[in-house]
Every structure is written in C-alpha cells, then in structure tokens.
Amino acid sequence: MNAFRNLAWSLAAVLAALLTGGVVLAVSGYDVADALGALLKGALGSPNAVAETLVNMTPLLLAALAVALGLRAGLFNIGVEGQFLMGGLGAVVAGYALPGLPGGLHMLIVLAAGMASGAAWAAVPAWMKARFGAHEVITTIMFNYIAFRLVGWLVRVPLHGPGSIPQTRYIAEGAHLPVLLADTRLHAGFLLALAVAGGLWWLLWHTPWGMAIRSVGLNPEAAEYAGVRVVRTLVGSLALSGGLAGLAGAVQLAGVDHRLVEEGFSAGYGYDSIAVSLLGANHPFAIVPAALLFAALRSGAGLMQIEADVSSQIISVLQAFVILFVAAEAGLRRDREFKAARKAAAVAPPSPPAPPQAPNLPAAGATSGQGQEA
Amino acid sequence: MEPAILIGLLAAMLRLATPLLLGSLSGIWAERSGVVNIAIEGMMLTGAFAGYVVAERLLDAGVFDGDGTGHLWIGVLAAVMVGSLLGLVHAFWTQRFRTDQIVSGTALNILAVGVTAYALRLVYDVGGSTKLPETLPAILTWSVNGKDGPVGVSFTPLMVLAVVLCLLTHVVLFRTPWGLRTQASGEHPLTLTSLGLSVLATRYVNMAISGGLAGLAGAFLTLEGIGQFNEGMTSGKGFIALAVMIFGRWKPLPSLAAACLFGLADAMQIFLQTLGVEVPAEWLQMLPYVLTLVALMGLMGRSRPPAALGQVS
C-alpha cells in the first residue's frame, strides 16, 4: 500500500515537473511540440538512441544507488560527483599501469580500483563527521571541488598521456567492459548496475548490517540504544556509498571513455543521481525506472539542443522540480504522521506516561538528522 | 618585501572576501532564525545572472547609455529581488511543506544551475555572454607607486555596502526587538509562540533578507567584478560562505574577520604567482576548500549552531 502510494506520488511529481518544464519552454517562446519531438527522438527514436539511453542510465543508476545508501543511513552524500571522478582516476591508472593481465581479471581489478578510490575519497569526510561532527553536506561538496582540481592537475601534468590534449593514456583492451550489442556503445556495465541494485536491496533488507544502516537512518538514538554502533555504521555506509560512486566512475571509464579527460568525465552524473534517488524513494528497485527516465531525458536533451535550440540544461530544471515535489510530499506526510502520533499519545491512558515522541519520525526522504552544519 | 606586492595582496583579499562576507551574512540571517540555508550558492548564482542580464539588456535597449551607472544599479536591485524570491521559496517549502531543509536547498542549487544556463542560451543563443563596458566604479582608491607602476586598493560601492550591512546586521541582531525575535526563532521557537508572535512570519522575513544578501553577493561578482556572467561562476563560494559563518560563530563581526581570512587564502594564489613560486595553479585553487574543511572540523575553535536549527516549528 505504502509502496503503491509512493509510486503514484512519484509519477505525479514527474508529471508535474514535466508540465512545469513544458510551461517554461512555452513561456520562453519555444515550439513545445518540436522540442518534445526532438527529445523523444533523441531518447528512443532508433535502436542506437535506446542503446545510448541505457549507456547513460548505467552510471546514473550506480551513482543513484550510492546516494540512496547514504540517505538510508541518514547521510546526504552530495560528494558522489567527486567520488565518481576519483573512481574513474583509480580505474584508469589500474587500466594502463598493469598490462599483460588476463582480460577478465584485469577488468575486475580496474573496477575494484575504482571502487576503492571512491570509497577512500568518501572515507575522509566520513571520518571528519565521526571525529569532529563536520556536516557531510558541506564537506563532501568541498571534496568535489578538490577532486576536480586534483584530477585536473594529475591529467594535465603527471598522468598526461601522449599527444597535446590533456588526457591520460588509454587503458588496456583487456580491461574494457565487453560491448553487449554490436554497433552500439551498450556495455556489460549495464547488467552490472542492475545486479548492484539487487545486491544493495539484499544488503539493506536481508543482512544485519543493512538493518543497522536503516535503523541509524531512522533514529540514531534508538539505534544506539538497541546496540548498534552508530559511528561505525555511519562511517562504513558513507565509505560504501563512495565505493558505489567510484564503481560508477570505473564502469563509465572501462565501458565508454577508456581514458580520463581533464574536464567533462563525471558530466554531472553525481548531481543528477540525487534527483534519481529521491524520485525512487531511496529504494534500489524503484531507482531503476527513475534512472531510466532521467537517462532518457539526458540523451534526448542533446538532440533537443541541436534541433530545437533548447539548452540541455532544462533537464536540471526538471530535476530540481522533481526533487521539490517529491520532498514536499514526504514532508507533508511526515507532518501528518507526527500529528497523528501526537494525537494518539494525547488520548492514551494517563499512566504510564506516554514517552515523548522522537522529533524525527521515519521520513521517506530521510536525510541528515538535525541538519546542522557543525 | 616589496610593499606594492602586499598592497596587491590586500586588494585581492578585499575583492575576494566581499562575496564571502555577504554570503555569510545571508547564512546568519537564515540560520539565526532556525532555517538551514545551503542554497546560498544557488541564490548567488541566480543573483549574478539576473544582475548581469538586467543591466546588459537595459544597456542594449538604449534605456541607459554606457556613461552612467544607472543600469548597473538596477541590475543590483534585480539581483537582490531574485535572491529574495528564492529565499521565500526555500522558506515556503521548508515551513509550509515541511520539506527537509537540506533537500530543499539542494534542489534550489540544482535549479539555479539549470535556470541560469537555460536562460543564458535563451537570451544570448550561445553559451557565453558579452562583457559589460563598465562595472561599478570605485568610490575611493588608495594607490602607491610600485616597481611596475602604481598599485592600488579600490574600494568599490558594494564592497563598502557589504561592510555597512555587516555592522547593520550586528546592530539589528543584538540591539533590536527584531534581532531578539530572530534569535528566539532559532534557539527556542516555542518562546515566540507563547508570546503570541509568529515563528513562521519571522522565518519568512529573515529568509527574504537572507536571499537578498546572497543575490547581492552574486551582483558583486558580475556587476562589480568581471562584468560578465559565466556558467557556474560562483564555484562553491556559497558553501565557503557557510564555513565563514560557522568559523565566525554565527556572528556578523567575527564573520567579517573570517571572510578576510578566507579571502586571504584565495588571494594567496595571485600572491604566490607574483612571487614566482612554482606551485601548480590547481594546488593553489584548492586552498579555500581545504581551509573550509579545517573550519568545519572545528580545528579553529568550536562553535555552536542555533539550537532549533533545521527543526520544523
């Protein structure tokens, strides 16, 4: 029932956001039908367009799973963009510095290296939060900016490959993710991403550690009381979240780019994944269609920019509206539940006295505890 | 040490500290009333864009000629209004819809990136904007003759206004009934309610002020800084401003000092390049972000946020 209502509301939020986007286009004086036609053609118009949509969906899905894992633990990991980039960095170095390995093994090492780099990059803000209480929202954003500069320098100077363009060397052929569909860029990373979605669902709902993560996200005090090691769980989930983001970067590198360029590798996947995760109510399975939708918008936006001259950034506007609509419903529902709980507590028999209600009841778009910076 | 270099460093510091100071004041007005505002970045970016477009269009339409500064001031006004509008949206979403304040702020940041890039293409067809012939001129210049000609510190109008607003924030926050009301709203909203005063009204007004200040910071970047708008030109200044506010312990005057410190860290880039130090530009560009992390870790002194920050009323 709850899942059904979530789905209905998510669809309503998407429709409302698309409608708002249409109004924005119309007010701007664009031909809305033309723009939409180009968008659809770009996203689904040909077998290759569909394949490109799935290619876009792959890193988006993995990155959104990273965001979702963080949010399930009550952590808002806005650092996915930087962790994605660091994942690409780890993957590219493992991809060209270890030649001569058997193909399949090399591929696994490349993915593992990317995942480890992303996890390490997220572990530092996790430690800062655990040790000093530094709020992860701002620290992870700072780590994004630092990652951009760091990778920019690495690619420009020490890791600069042959040629004048600032980019690294190409990874070994054996480390490439195999192409699934001839004459397209659709690669095995797509299947891996789907498998990771299943794995994350298993982790969160069928393992003790997943139980600990979710309980910390819902109510850290209660979790502590129940014997969960809160700090360890928080640090672990942010590091694993970074690991998934790093895996997203490694998959993009081994599947599509095959080398790291100075700019444009992460291409906003990390930021887009926030909207995808929230739209999917931070549930691994619901995130799959959400990622497909945003991937389709992303591939369609390119053609829309060429054919209808509409900036592809209209997609960011749509994403912002999706977040605002989804979060507004979550907020109102939490408020209703809170008031209902208070009412129930008020009519309960006077003794024993009703325990005070926890200020933060379970929130669908659960986020960062008190929302304090320091 | 060549005095001209130090003066150059001072000039760069003041220029870089101004948007951080305005951003931190924006944070103070919001957070002192109990609303987390991580959308300062987006409000700054939107303000920078709105200020630039309004000034540029007025000039282009021939309403103002390039000799005066009328179009620039109307641009500043537009930036403040757009920032305030976003502040009110944030207030409405977090207070009326009870949306998580971090989520709402993140959505507004994404919205700002999208809207400015979209509108830039809409108005100018291509991805870039033309440079304004002039930016807001200095009202006072102090110059010294250096080795390579005169070096000076220019005090520009918004720079001075930022300091005035900082003092004003101090007075209002700590010496007026509204300031008391703001602090109560952020520390213990129930006291306001029990006095028959509206927590919501307090937060709406303060968020409008907060947004306006962030918009003004944006106007500084385009109309007093480079005279041009570039996509994503705020590059994290809104978040660094929050670190300035935290380091300044949610108080205006310490935040002024903190903004100068962060501005100095940023200005070191130029300084070290002048001295001919062989450090890659990217490493120097990391400095303000690293300093922000240090401030957030509380390594420069612990500070306590308002007690009711982020809670719904």
pLDDT attached to residue A2: 67
Q: Does B282 map to a domain?
A: yes
Integer CA distances (angstroms), B128 to A336, B120, B228, in order: 47, 7, 9
Structural domains of chain A, count: 1
Label residue A354 by pLDDT band (50, 70, 90): very low
Q: Does B172 map to a domain?
A: yes
Instruction: Provide the domain limits for residue B179.
Output: 3-296
The answer to whether residues B162 and B263 touch, using CB atoms and an 8 Å cutoff, is no
Structural domains of chain B, count: 1
Q: Which domain CATH number covers A264? A: 1.10.3470
Whether B305 sits inside 8 A of A368 (CB atoms) is: no
Residue A52 to residue A255: CA distance in whole angstroms: 12
The answer to whether residues A326 and A9 touch, using CB atoms and an 8 Å cutoff, is yes
**Coil, helix or strand at residue B284:** helix
Whether B104 sits inside 8 A of A327 (CB atoms) is: yes
pLDDT attached to residue B306: 83
Label residue A234 by pLDDT band (50, 70, 90): very high
Q: Does B308 map to a domain?
A: no
Label residue A374 by pLDDT band (50, 70, 90): very low
Q: Does A366 map to a domain?
A: no
CA distance B267 to chain A (A): 17
- Minimum CA–CA partner of A305 in chain B: B121
Most confident of B53-62, B79-88, B259-268: B79-88
Whether B286 sits inside 8 A of A149 (CB atoms) is: yes
**Test mutation, B88, B98, B269, B304, chain A, max A CBs within 10 A:** B98
Q: Which residues of B touch A149 (CB under 8 A)?
A: 282-283, 285-286, 289
The answer to whether residues A276 and A295 touch, using CB atoms and an 8 Å cutoff, is no
Q: Evaluate if residue A366 carries a pLDDT over 60.
A: no
Q: Model confidence over B14-47: pLDDT tens digits? A: 999 999 999 999 999 999 999 999 999 999 999 9
Whether A139 sits inside 8 A of B293 (CB atoms) is: yes
pLDDT attached to residue A250: 95
Nearest 5°: phi and psi at B140? -150, 130
Q: Which residue do the tokens 């989804």 mark?
A: A326
Nearest CB to B107; choose among A141, A323, A371? A323
Q: Model confidence over B237-261: pLDDT tens digits? A: 999 999 899 888 899 999 999 999 8
Nearest CB to A78; choose among B106, B235, B242? B106
The encoded tokens of residue B180 equal 């008391």
The encoded tokens of residue A149 equal 């500069």
Residue by residue, DSSP assigns A109-175 as HHHHHHHHHHHHHHHHHHHHHHHH---HHHHHHHHHHHHHHHHHHHHHTTT--SSSSSB-PPPPGGG
Whether B102 sits inside 8 A of A315 (CB atoms) is: no
Label residue B87 by pLDDT band (50, 70, 90): very high
Nearest CB to B103; choose among A128, A271, A323? A323
- Residues 6+ positions from B224 with CB-CB distance below 8 Å: B135, B136, B156, B157, B158, B159
* List of E strands, A145-292: none
**ipTM attached to this prediction:** 0.88
The answer to whether residues B192 and B185 touch, using CB atoms and an 8 Å cutoff, is yes
DSSP B178: H
Q: Evaluate if residue B136 carries a pLDDT over 90.
A: no
pLDDT attached to residue A102: 83
B101-124 helix and B70-91 helix, angle to the nearest 10 degrees:
140
Name the residue type at position A81: E
The answer to whether residues B32 and B223 touch, using CB atoms and an 8 Å cutoff, is no
- Minimum CA–CA partner of B104 in chain A: A324
Label residue B313 by pLDDT band (50, 70, 90): low
- Minimum CA–CA partner of B306 in chain A: A372
- Minimum CA–CA partner of B291 in chain A: A142
- The residue count of chain B comes to 313
Q: Does A373 map to a domain?
A: no
Residue A299 to residue B7: CA distance in whole angstroms: 51
Q: Which residues of B touch A141 (CB under 8 A)?
A: 236, 239
Name the residue type at position B61: A
Q: What percent of chain A is predicted at pLDDT more than 90? A: 39
Nearest CB to B36; choose among A310, A328, A371? A371
Residue A199 to residue A328: CA distance in whole angstroms: 30
pLDDT attached to residue B148: 67
Nearest CB to B121; choose among A78, A156, A311? A311
Label residue A368 by pLDDT band (50, 70, 90): very low
Residue B184 to residue B34: CA distance in whole angstroms: 9
Q: Evaluate if residue A1 carries a pLDDT over 80.
A: no
Nearest 5°: phi and psi at A258? 65, 0
Q: Does B182 map to a domain?
A: yes
Instruction: Provide the domain limits for residue A252.
Output: 2-340
Residue A92 to residue A259: CA distance in whole angstroms: 6
DSSP A286: H
The answer to whether residues A154 and A120 touch, using CB atoms and an 8 Å cutoff, is no
Q: Does A348 map to a domain?
A: no
- Minimum CA–CA partner of A130 in chain B: B297
Nearest CB to A135; choose among B106, B286, B296? B296
Label residue B288 by pLDDT band (50, 70, 90): confident
Please tell me which residue, B203 or A28, carries the higher pLDDT value.
B203
Q: Which residues of A touch B46 (CB under 8 A)?
A: none
Whether B100 sits inside 8 A of A141 (CB atoms) is: no
A-B contacts (CB, under 8 Å): 171
- Minimum CA–CA partner of A138 in chain B: B239
Whether A316 sits inside 8 A of B296 (CB atoms) is: no
Q: Does A130 map to a domain?
A: yes
Q: Does B42 map to a domain?
A: yes
Over residues B83-104, mean pLDDT = 92
CA distance A321 to chain B (A): 7
pLDDT attached to residue B1: 56
Q: Which domain CATH number covers B247? A: 1.10.3470
Q: Does B306 map to a domain?
A: no
pLDDT attached to residue B78: 97
Our measurement of the distance from residue B125's CA atom to the centroid of its chain's CA atoms, rounded to an integer in Å, reads: 28
DSSP bridge partners of B150: B145
Whether B312 sits inside 8 A of A278 (CB atoms) is: no
Please tell me which residue, A60 or A270, carries the higher pLDDT value.
A60
Q: Does B305 map to a domain?
A: no
Segment among A354-368, B21-35, B98-112 with least mean pLDDT: A354-368
Phi-psi bin for B197: left (phi > 0), alpha (psi -120 to 50), beta? beta
Q: Model confidence over A268-309: pLDDT tens digits? A: 888 889 889 988 889 999 999 999 998 999 889 888 888 888
